[in-house]
Amino acid sequence: MTNPTAAMLVIGDEILSGRTRDGNTHYLAGELTARGIRLMEARVVPDDQAEIVAALNALRARWDHVFTSGGIGPTHDDITADAVAAAFGVAIDHRADALALLQAHYDRAGQEFNAARRRMARIPEGARLIDNPISTAPGFSLGNVHVMAGVPNIFQAMVAGVLAGIAGGAPLLSQSLRVDRGEGEIAGPFADLAAAFPDLSMGSYPFVQNGAYGTNLVIRGTDPGRLDAAMLRLQALFGAGQ
């Protein structure tokens, strides 16, 4: 069985200008990996409809799922919903169920449900709403594209909602070994081991601690028995006392 694939599309000038550091991609990556969905690609694009449409159409044609983050608030720079509608070639308008959710939310808060806030009920035709338990304004899924807020706690809540409804795959497992040697010292035998386990993915990640070089060796795959077998070989090569 092959694992489903996914891409992440982060939308927002604030990421590209360096004002904000994106953390949603890292969060999504961990959640997908735990569910056996492979994150194959991530992109960041500005608040520009043509850029969003081009990236969305490239990604949704290629991967099983596309997750987006950002641009669904009430202000003029929130253009993601319109861009998604344009990418799919469908209409977009205020939708009754989304309006009702938001009307009730602002009534409870004693705040005016003004035109800007009504913008958050603009949903492309044919989309399914994604629940927002934090601040009500919904995300939506259209085809294989899941459109979520950029604010991290809302993004995370929406991801949970989406992942509950889509099929995962065999969990993507990993095991790692920390070696107190530089990468260049272990690269040869490590490459040989990787060649002996072509069904696993092996990576090495160098670090410096207290002035000394070290390397984290990571083995990834879906078969726990194969991971154990490779880890035994790895420990025999580089484990404590070797």
Binding site for a copy of itself (CB under 8 A): 12-23, 25-26, 28-33, 38-47, 51, 73-77, 111-112, 114-117, 119-120, 151, 153, 172, 174, 182-188, 190-191, 194-195, 201-208, 218, 220
Reported in sequence order, the residue ranges of the chain that DSSP labels E, i.e. its strands, are 5-11, 38-45, 65-69, 92-94, 122-124, 128-130, 139-142, 145-148, 173-179, 201-209, 212-221
| Beta carbon nearer to a copy of itself, 23 or 224 | 23
Nearest partner of 29 among 11, 12, 9, 8, judged by Cα: 8
Minimum CB separation of residue 85 from a copy of itself in Å reads 19
The nearest distance, CB 126 to a copy of itself, in angstroms, is: 26
Rounded to the nearest whole angstrom, what is the least distance from the CB of residue 66 to a copy of itself in the complex? 14
3-state secondary structure of 183: helix
21 vs 108 by CB, closer to a copy of itself: 21
- The minimum distance between CB 18 and a copy of itself, in angstroms, equals 3
Ordered DSSP codes for 119-135: HTTEEETT-EEE--TTT
Beta bridge partners of 203: 218
Give residue 59's Cα distance to chain centre.
13
Q: Of 90 and 204, which CB lies nearer to a copy of itself in the complex structure?
A: 204
Nearer residue to a copy of itself within complex by CB, 207 or 228: 207
